[in-house]
Amino acid sequence: MGAKQKIIITVILAFMLVLSFSTTALAVTKNEVQAQVNAHGRAAVTGNIFIWFLCAVAFLKISQKIDSFMSSLGVNVGNTGGSMMAELLIASRGITAGKNIFGGGGFGGRGSRGAPGDSGGLMRGGLAGSVGRSLDRGAVKSATGEGGGGIGGRMFASSVEKGGGFANNVIGSVAKGSIAATGSMSGETAVKALHSYMGFAGDNTPSVQTRPPVFSDVEIGGGRITGTETSADNPNGIGFGMYHTEQYMAPEGKYETVEAADGSKWYKQYARDAVEKTPYPAPDGSVAYNESIVQKLPKMPQRKDRV
State the Cα angle at 112 between 124 and 142, rounded to 5°.
90
Q: What is the pLDDT of residues 240-252, one digit of tens each?
A: 999 999 999 999 9
Sign of the alpha-carbon dihedral angle for 264, 77, 157, 236:
negative
Residue 163 near residue 199, CB atoms below 8 Å? yes
State how far the alpha carbon of 241 is from the alpha carbons of 98, 162, 296, in Å: 41, 25, 10
Which among 180, 268, 272, 281 has a CA at the least distance from the CA of 234? 272
Return the amino acid letter for 161. E
Which among 82, 55, 80 has a CA at the least distance from the CA of 65? 80
Q: How far apart are CA 286 and CA 291, in angstroms?
A: 16
State the Cα angle at 164 between 158 and 165, rounded to 5°.
125
Q: Which residue has the higher pLDDT, 287 or 172?
A: 172
Q: How far apart are CA 26 and CA 124, in angstroms?
A: 34
Q: Which residue has the higher pLDDT, 107 or 299?
A: 299
Residue 179 near residue 221, CB atoms below 8 Å? yes
Whether 122 has a pLDDT exceeding 50, the answer reads no
Q: What is the pLDDT of residues 23-81, one digit of tens each?
A: 444 445 556 555 655 555 555 545 555 566 666 666 666 766 666 666 665 555 555 44
Q: Which residue has the higher pLDDT, 169 or 135?
A: 169
pLDDT at 46: 53
- Averaged pLDDT for residues 255-268: 96
Range in 5-14, 101-110, 228-237, 279-288 with the lowest mean pLDDT: 101-110
Whether 263 has a pLDDT exceeding 60, the answer reads yes
- Averaged pLDDT for residues 103-128: 41
Instruction: Please state, for a pLDDT cut of 70, what percent of the chain lies above it.
Output: 55
Q: What share of the chain is helix, strand, coil (3-state, %, to 5)?
A: 50, 20, 30
The band of 266, judged by pLDDT with boundaries at 50, 70 and 90, is: very high
DSSP per-residue string spanning 30-93: HHHHHHHHHHH-HHHHHHHHHHHHHHHHHHHHHHHHHHHHHHHTT-----TTS-HHHHHHHHHH
190: three-class secondary structure by DSSP: helix
Whether 192 has a pLDDT exceeding 90, the answer reads yes
Average pLDDT, the chain: 73
